[in-house]
Amino acid sequence: MDGIENPEITNKSSISKIQKKRKAQPTIDELVSGILKGNITTLSRAITLIESKNPKHLDKANQVIKQCLPHANKSVRIGITGVPGVGKSTFIESIGIYLTNQGKKVAVLAVDPSSSLTKGSILGDKTRMEDLVKDKNAFIRPSPSGDSLGGVARKTRETIILCEAAGFDTIIIETVGVGQSETAVHSMVDFFLLLKLAGAGDELQGIKRGIIEMADAIAINKADGDNLKSAKIAKIEFNRALHFYPEKESKWQPKVKLCSAIKHEGIEEIWNMILEYFDLTTNNTYLEAKRQEQNKFWLLQTIEEQLKNEFFNHSKIKSELKKQLDLIEANKTTPFAAADYLLGLKKDL
Contact residues toward ligand GTP (CB under 6 A) are: 82, 84-90, 121, 125, 128, 176, 221-222, 224, 260-262
Query: Comparing C-alpha atoms, which of 99, 42, 48 is closest to residue 275?
Result: 99
Q: Considering CB distances under 5 to 8 angstroms, the limit depending on partner class, which of Mg ion, ligand GTP, none binds residue 60?
A: none
Quote the least distance from Cβ 162 to ligand GTP, whole Å.
Answer: 24
Q: Considering CB distances under 5 to 8 angstroms, the limit depending on partner class, which of Mg ion, ligand GTP, none binds residue 281?
A: none
Which residues 6+ apart lie within 8 Å of 287 measured at CB? 190, 278, 281
d(CA 198, CA 267): 17
d(CA 46, CA 52): 10
Distances (CA, A) of 141 to 21, 59, 63, 174: 25, 22, 21, 11
42 lies in the site for Mg ion, by CB under 5 A = no
Query: Comparing C-alpha atoms, which of 82, 112, 83, 109 is closest to residue 96?
Result: 109
Would you say 100 or 143 has its CB closer to ligand GTP?
143
Q: Considering CB distances under 5 to 8 angstroms, the limit depending on partner class, which of Mg ion, ligand GTP, none binds residue 224?
A: ligand GTP
Would you say 77 or 88 has its CB closer to ligand GTP?
88
Query: Comparing C-alpha atoms, which of 174, 101, 94 is closest to residue 137?
Result: 101
89 lies in the site for Mg ion, by CB under 5 A = yes
Would you say 14 or 127 has its CB closer to ligand GTP?
127
Site string for Mg ion, 106-125 (x = CB under 5 A): -------------------x
Residue nearest to ligand GTP (CB): 87
Phi then psi dihedrals of residue 77, to 5 deg: -110, 120
Would you say 86 or 218 has its CB closer to ligand GTP?
86
Residue nearest to Mg ion (CB): 89
Query: Comparing C-alpha atoms, which of 175, 166, 165, 168 is closest to residue 143?
Result: 175
